[in-house]
Amino acid sequence: MEEILKILENDARTTPEQIATMTGKPLTEVKDNIKQAENNRSIIKYKTVINWGKLEREEVMALIEVKLQPQREVGFDAVAERIYRFPEVRSAYLVSGMYDLLVIVTGKTMQDVAGFVSRKLATLESVQGTVTHFLLKCYKEDGEILEGDERPKRQPLTL
């Protein structure tokens, strides 16, 4: 199954028929593996990486370091859930080091992100402090280079 998942991770548009050809596995086995991975949430989502900068879309993204006070019996999980459920939050990670959570948020303006931090995030009881870093330019995302003359990569179809 790992081989199938790696193919889909690289290009979510690869069809089961193409995967069967690429791996030499029977089509029914490929489809069953994909369905099983979707059902057990090994496959969470099929995703397209878009270079929004080329479309001149106005959006601000920030990385926020969050220092937390862990809660009894649940540690960081309960407050992390409160944070990642905010619609502004794109990603949230428990990390080691000087802070506990790394939160990636988006907003239409820097003021929107600042408002999220000051009104929603920093006011949570377990939050001891935050440091916000605004992203100025994205060069590479999800393994894909956004700058330069890179062409979209597709797995070659071998017959």
How high is the pLDDT of residue 156?
60
How high is the pLDDT of residue 153?
60
Among candidate residues 3, 18, 5, 48, the one with its CA nearest the CA of residue 155: 18
Task: Give backbone dihedrals phi and psi of 123, rounded to 5 degrees, phi first.
Answer: -85, -10
**Alpha carbons 91 and 77: distance in angstroms, whole number:** 14
Q: Where are the domains of the chain?
A: 2-39, 58-136
pTM above 0.85, yes or no: no
Q: What is the pLDDT of residues 82-141, one digit of tens each?
A: 999 999 999 999 999 999 999 999 999 999 999 999 999 999 999 999 999 999 988 888
* Second CATH level (architecture) for the domain 58-136: 2-Layer Sandwich (3.30)
pLDDT at 3 over 90: yes
pLDDT at 150 over 60: no
How high is the pLDDT of residue 152?
57
For 7, 45, 80, 109, 157, the CA distances from 105, given in Å and listed in that order, are 29, 19, 14, 11, 37
**Alpha carbons 40 and 34: distance in angstroms, whole number:** 10
DSSP letter string over 36-98?
HHHHTTSS--------GGGGT---EEEEEEEEE-PBTTTBTHHHHHHHHTSTTEEEEEE--SS
Q: Give me the mean pLDDT over the 77-82 stretch.
A: 94
**Alpha carbons 132 and 64: distance in angstroms, whole number:** 4
* Contact status, residue 107 vs residue 118, Cβ threshold 8 Å: no
Length of the chain: 159
Q: What is the pLDDT of residues 20-76, one digit of tens each?
A: 999 999 999 999 999 999 999 999 888 887 777 777 777 899 999 999 998 888 889
